[in-house]
């Protein structure tokens, strides 16, 4: 099983600042990584797939990068609606797996 480890567990950021979230795979997952945002009481929302492709309607302040075992989600200038939990997800091998999540909170 490919274990996805996210860091940090919690990220405290002020509105307007940049946020960088990391995800490390225990083995290579090529570019088969997606990122999701989840708010309390809501289903996850796809932000990025294929490591760096923004999903439909996702603002340009969200970007993804990486390959192999190291992946990054960057939010260039945090808006109030961006405070949430973010998950990475690998779909390269079975079973598919999610990271444990990074909570982005207001500093």
Partner 1 sequence: EVLLLESGGGLVQPGASLRLSCVVSGFSFRSYAMSWVRLAPGKGLEWVSAISATSISTYYADSVMGRFTISRDNPRYTLYLQMNSLRAEDTAVYYCAKSAVTGYFYGLDVWGQGTSVTVSS
Q: For residues 41 and 19, what is the distance between their CA atoms, to the nearest angstrom?
A: 23
CA separation, residue 70 to residues 16, 43, 49 (Å): 25, 26, 15
What is the footprint of partner 1 within residues 50-79 (CB under 8 A)?
50, 55-56
Q: List CB contacts of 68: < 8 A, sequence separation 6 or more.
A: 25, 28, 29, 30
Tokens of 83: 């405070």
Q: Which of 14, 16, 43, 81 binds partner 1 (CB under 8 A)?
A: 43
Q: Which of 11, 21, 25, 34 binds partner 1 (CB under 8 A)?
A: 34
88 close to 23: Cβ distance less than 8 angstroms? yes
Q: Min. distance of Cβ 76 from partner 1 in angstroms?
A: 21
**Closer by beta carbon to partner 1, 49 or else 62:** 49
Residue whose tokens read 């109030």: 80
**Closer by beta carbon to partner 1, 19 or else 48:** 48
Residue 94 binding partner 1, by CB under 8 A: yes
Residue 16 binding partner 1, by CB under 8 A: no
Residues binding partner 1 (CB under 8 A): 1, 32, 34, 36, 38, 43-46, 48-50, 55-56, 85, 87, 89, 91, 94-101
């Amino acid at each position: 099983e490919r274990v996805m480890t996210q860091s940090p567990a919690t990220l405290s950021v002020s509105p307007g600042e940049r946020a960088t979230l990391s995800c490390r795979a225990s083995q290579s997952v090529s570019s088969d990584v997606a990122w999701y945002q989840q708010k309390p009481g809501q289903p996850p929302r796809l932000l990025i797939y294929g490591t760096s492709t923004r999903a439909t309607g996702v603002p340009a302040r969200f970007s993804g990068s990486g390959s192999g075992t190291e992946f990054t989600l960057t939010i260039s200038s945090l808006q109030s609606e961006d405070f949430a939990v973010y998950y990475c997800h690998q779909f390269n091998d079975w079973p598919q797996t999610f990271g444990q999540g990074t909570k982005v909170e207001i500093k």
